[in-house]
Chain A
Amino acid sequence: MAQTSHGVGGVGYDAKKRAWPAELNVFLALVILVVVFELIGRIFLGDSFLFNTRSDVSAIFNEARLQIIILQVSIVGIIAIGVTQVIITGGIDLSSGSIVGATAMIAMSFAQVATVNGNPNPKAMFLAQGWTDLPVIVPVLVAIGCGLFAGLVNGALIAYTRIPPFIATLGMMVTARGIAKWWSKGQPISFPTEGFAAIGKGLMPVIIFLSLAVLFQLIMTYTRYGKHCYAIGSNEDAARMSGIKIANHKILVYVIAGVLAALAAVVLSSKNLTAQSGMGVMYELDAIAMAVIGGVSLSGGRGSIIGTVIGSLIFGVIISGFTFLRLDAYYQEMVKGVIIVGAVVLDQWRQRLRAMRA
């Protein structure tokens, strides 16, 4: 087979050498996980994890469970879309959870009604200024502005001072959480307008999550921005020598991540009908875990939004699987820690395997 690897001329194709898409492995893991829960359920509980077992409902699947699985991951999933881009570029964003907290507080203050049950809204931040009952676009734009600003600070710090992304975003994590607490002196902000409340109603979080996922999957695959994300994460020096403007690109990546975290804050506070300063705590780790489970390499250059979406589903299946098995919430949290570390170990392992084959 010297013909295929040595310079005889022309381009050769060898179908066998086509890379097996990493997303397929992740999807396989998802399927296996579901099957495992299904088997455990059937054997030990006499109940089905995935399928409908109630005679009064005519459906093949247990739709309630499917909804819960995807609904509970969709908000963190929105963050994970941005985190994926950051990690592919070779960075990390630890600030997303705090950006959610700060943005939820600030945006919600512009989404409040003037009167509750005929009385002035007791929680209204800007009642005196008359900034109540504003059109829904106002709090949404405020939120986007918050995310944009936080992302800009993250990106500029990383691009210009060259401090490691880990440190820069850790600083933002602490600061943004501080802002979230300071904003209303720790008080929750509630009573949003109907328009604002509609954003996170029912399956809206899922729809928003999946639309954004499709949008960014296309962007990562078909645009120059996406190509440069992979190039920088893969070999930053090569990207620089090829003339890619690294600083600008990094700033853009962190801005996008910030804005996505802000959108997650809008959806979350709308869904909960309230904003609290503790919102989004640890979301950054969940988002990173979703990405890493989905095959995004922490060393940069590899992964995809589709992978992260599948990773988020794995995350959701594990959490609802534990509920299904009636395991205590404490166990869930402990297992989440194991998943996060496990995903990173898996990533390292994958890389070592790859290095061995190369």
Chain B
Amino acid sequence: MSDIVLKTENLTKRYGGVHALEGANFELRKGEHVAIMGDNGAGKSTFVRQITAVEQRTSGQIWFDGKEVNFAGPIEARTAGIETVFQNLALADDLDVPSNLFLGREKVLFNLGPFSILDRKYMRKATEAALIRTAVKIPNLSNTIRHMSGGQRQCVAIARTATFASKLIIMDEPTAALGVQETAQVENIIRTLKDNGEPLILISHNMRQVFDLCDRIVVFRRGRIVANLRKQDTDGNDIVSYITGAKTGEAELAA
């Protein structure tokens, strides 16, 4: 079907004997915001790392944007249009905000291979625009991000996904370290994405947030998808019982 943005079949990842992800079948449609929930170690981040090719999967297939994909690495996934806010942020502490925003895809003035001259002015302007668009407030763009608060750093990571045109945004626990105000801000960014029809996968432990922002909830438990429920067909208690294993078996969407 053409309105499927992302689909995985039997996606599996093992680290030696650890079955971190087992036979995950997952689908995401155009404009849809899907939440992934599950206990610590359930395999949520592992799932993200396979889709974004940060790691190579053990087995299984992935379709993105209408065709089967085998990304060799994260840059290919990103070029194809998957923007990710990783759980461990993936920021370089000793670089300033524009350098972090453009890390790995710097805008260059002249292409001289590795010695390409950077277009620093452009990157700075684009960073300012991205921060304004996402309503992120940073004291000084040219400072390294080392001394920024957890919230500010998270905002930089999120502004990064909003800077580049994408077909799918994945956020792995984007508000885990944030205060009330910053969380609200990130949620606003996510609502804006929804209004623009941009599909999103949100990994979160925050039940309120998930029910506020997402259309569908997928529950991971011990590396397996154990539930796939539309928001209106479930509630917090139901989800918790899947997360803890009180309810088992894959709960399918009522077709």
Contact = CB atoms under 8 A, between A and B. Distances in A.
A252 B112 CA distance: 14
Interface in B117-155: 117-118, 120, 128, 131-132, 135-144, 146-147, 149, 152, 155
A14 B117 contact: no
A302 B146 CA distance: 11
A11 B127 CA distance: 9
Nearest to B88: A237
A242 B137 contact: no
Contact of B141 (A7, A11, A231, A301): A11
B114 interface: yes
Interface residues of B, number: 50
Contacts of A242: 74-75, 90, 103-105
Contacts of B182: 6-7
Nearest to B49: A241
B86 interface: yes
Interface in A143-185: none
A7 B135 CA distance: 6
Of the listed residues B73, B103, B147, B181, the one surrounded by the most CB atoms of chain A closer than 10 A to its CB is B103
A17 B106 CA distance: 25
Contacts of B103: 227, 231, 238-239, 242, 244
A19 B114 contact: no
A246 B95 CA distance: 17
B106 A235 contact: no
B248 to A, nearest CB: 34
B94 interface: yes
A349 interface: no
Contact of A237 (B52, B73, B90, B114): B90
A224 to B, nearest CB: 5
Interface string A238-278: 11111110000100100000000000000000000000000
Contact of B92 (A4, A14, A224, A230): A230
Contact of A241 (B74, B94, B99, B137): B74
Nearest to A235: B92
Nearest to B188: A7
Contacts of B73: 243
A131 to B, nearest CB: 34
Given A234-B93, A238-B90, A8 B146 contact: no
A242 B92 CA distance: 10
Nearest to A19: B143
B91 A219 contact: no
B120 A222 contact: yes
Which interface class (under 10, 10 to 19, 20 to 34, 35 or more) fits A?
35 or more
A7 B136 contact: yes
B15 interface: no
B116 interface: yes
Contact of B94 (A18, A219, A224, A230): A230
Contacts of B251: none
A61 interface: no
B78 interface: yes
B207 interface: no
Contacts of A14: 139-140
Interface in A262-308: 301-302
Contacts of B144: 19
Interface in B64-106: 73-75, 78, 84, 86, 88-95, 99, 103-106
Nearest to A248: B114
28 contacts: A4-B139, A5-B149, A6-B181, A7-B155, A7-B181, A9-B135, A9-B136, A11-B137, A11-B141, A13-B141, A19-B143, A222-B118, A223-B115, A224-B106, A225-B115, A227-B95, A227-B99, A230-B92, A234-B94, A238-B91, A238-B92, A241-B86, A242-B105, A243-B73, A244-B104, A252-B114, A357-B147, A358-B147
The 10 A-B pairs with the shortest beta carbon distances in the complex, nearest first, are: A243-B75, A242-B104, A301-B94, A234-B94, A234-B92, A243-B104, A9-B135, A242-B103, A238-B90, A7-B185
Interface of B: 52, 54, 73-75, 78, 84, 86, 88-95, 99, 103-106, 108, 112, 114-118, 120, 128, 131-132, 135-144, 146-147, 149, 152, 155, 181-182, 185
